[in-house]
Structure 1
Amino acid sequence: MSKIEAYKRLIRQYYNDKLQGESLMQFIKYMDDEDFLDAWEQIKLEEQPVNKLGSEMNNQDIFEKITADERIKNQLLELVPLKKPTLIPWRSMAAAALLLVVGIGALIYFFGKSSGSLINEQQLMANNGIESVLPGKDRAQIILENGHRIDLEKIKGDTIIDHGDFEIIKTAAGEISYHIKDGVDPHKLVYNSIVTPRGGEYNLTLPDGTRVWLNASTSLKYPVVFDRSKREVEMYGEAYFDVAKRTEEGKRIPFIIHTGSQSIEVLGTSFNVQNYGKKIITTLVEGKVKLNFKNTTIPDQFLQPNEQATFEHASNQFSIDPIDPFYSIAWKDGNFAFYKTPLVEVMAIIGRWYDVQVEFKSQFEDFQFSGTISKYGDIKKLLKTIELVGGVHFELTGRKIYVKN
Structure 2
Amino acid sequence: MSKVEAYKKLIRQFYAGSLEGTAKENFAKYFEDSEFLEAWEQLMEEELDENTSFKEPDSAFLFFKIKNDERVKDVLTDIPNHSSSKIKIIKSIVAAAVMLLVGIVAFLIWNEHNKTDNLAYIQIVDAELEVLPGTNKAQIILENGSRIDLEKIKGDTVIDNGDFEIVKTADGSISYRAKYPSNEVSKLVYNTIVTPGGGEYKLNLPDGTRVWLNAKTVLRYPVQFNKQIREIEMTGEAYFEIAKQIYQGKRVPFIIHTGAQKLEVLGTVFNLQNYGQNIVTTLLEGKVKLNFKDGSQEEQYLLPDEQTTFNSADQRVKKIQVDPFYFSAWKDGKFAFEKIAIEEVMATISRWYDVEVIFKDQLTDFQFSGTISKYEDINRLLQTIELVGGIHFQLKGRRIYVMK
1:108-132 CA-to-partner distances (Å, cap 9, x unmatched) read: xxxxxxxxxxxx8899459943521
Q: Following TM superposition, by how much is the alpha carbon of 1:364 offset from its aligned partner in structure 2, in angstroms? A: 1.1
Residue aligning to 2:314: 315
Residue aligning to 1:217: 216
Q: Is the 8 A contact 1:126 1:132 kept in 2?
A: no
Tell me the distance in 2 between the aligned counterparts of 1:251 and 1:211: 21
Residue aligning to 1:35: none
Structure 1 pair 285–142 and aligned structure 2 pair: CA distance change class (3 A)? same
Q: Is the 8 A contact 1:244 1:268 kept in 2?
A: no
Tell me the distance in 2 between the aligned counterparts of 1:297 and 1:200: 36
TM-score, scaled relative to structure 1: 0.69
Tell me the distance in 2 between the aligned counterparts of 1:122 and 1:149: 41
Q: Amino acid of the residue matched to residue 203 of structure 1?
A: K
Residue aligning to 2:340: 341
Structure 1 pair 125–176 and aligned structure 2 pair: CA distance change class (3 A)? farther
Residue aligning to 1:390: 389
Tell me the distance in 2 between the aligned counterparts of 1:275 and 1:256: 15
1:295 aligns with 2:294: yes
Structure 1 pair 127–242 and aligned structure 2 pair: CA distance change class (3 A)? closer
Residue aligning to 1:247: 246
Q: 1:141 aligns with which of 135, 139, 142?
A: 139
Tell me the distance in 1 between the aligned counterparts of 2:342 and 2:316: 22
1:371-403 CA-to-partner distances (Å, cap 9, x unmatched) read: 000000100000000001011100000000000
Structure 1 pair 158–254 and aligned structure 2 pair: CA distance change class (3 A)? same
The within-5 A match list for 1:3-402 is 124-125=121-122, 128-129=125-126, 131-182=129-180, 184-402=183-401
Q: Amino acid of the residue matched to residue 126 of structure 2?
A: G
Q: Count how many residue pairs are aligned between Structure 1 and Structure 2.
A: 290
Residue aligning to 1:403: 402
1:214-236 CA-to-partner distances (Å, cap 9, x unmatched) read: 00000000001101111000000
Choose 267-276 or 198-207, whichever is displaced more. Answer: 267-276
- Higher Cα radius of gyration: 2
Q: Amino acid of the residue matched to residue 334 of structure 1?
A: G
TM-score, scaled relative to structure 2: 0.69
Tell me the distance in 1 between the aligned counterparts of 2:191 and 2:217: 14
Q: Amino acid of the residue matched to residue 129 of structure 1?
A: D
CA RMSD of superposed structures (Å)? 2.1
Q: Which runs of 5+ in 2 are unaligned?
A: 5-116
Q: Is the 8 A contact 2:308 2:320 kept in 1?
A: yes
Structure 1 pair 203–222 and aligned structure 2 pair: CA distance change class (3 A)? same
Tell me the distance in 2 between the aligned counterparts of 1:171 and 1:368: 40
Structure 1 pair 122–260 and aligned structure 2 pair: CA distance change class (3 A)? farther
Structure 1 pair 184–141 and aligned structure 2 pair: CA distance change class (3 A)? farther
Tell me the distance in 2 between the aligned counterparts of 1:387 and 1:226: 48
**Corresponding residue SS for 2:380:** helix
**Corresponding residue SS for 1:347:** helix
Tell me the distance in 1 between the aligned counterparts of 2:118 and 2:235: 35
Calculate percent identity across the aligned residue pairs: 62
1:137-175 CA-to-partner distances (Å, cap 9, x unmatched) read: 000000000000000000000000000100000000001
Structure 1 pair 200–122 and aligned structure 2 pair: CA distance change class (3 A)? farther
Q: Following TM superposition, by how much is the alpha carbon of 1:299 offset from its aligned partner in structure 2, in angstroms? A: 0.8
Q: Is the 8 A contact 1:296 1:316 kept in 2?
A: no
**Corresponding residue SS for 1:226:** coil
Tell me the distance in 2 between the aligned counterparts of 1:126 and 1:165: 52
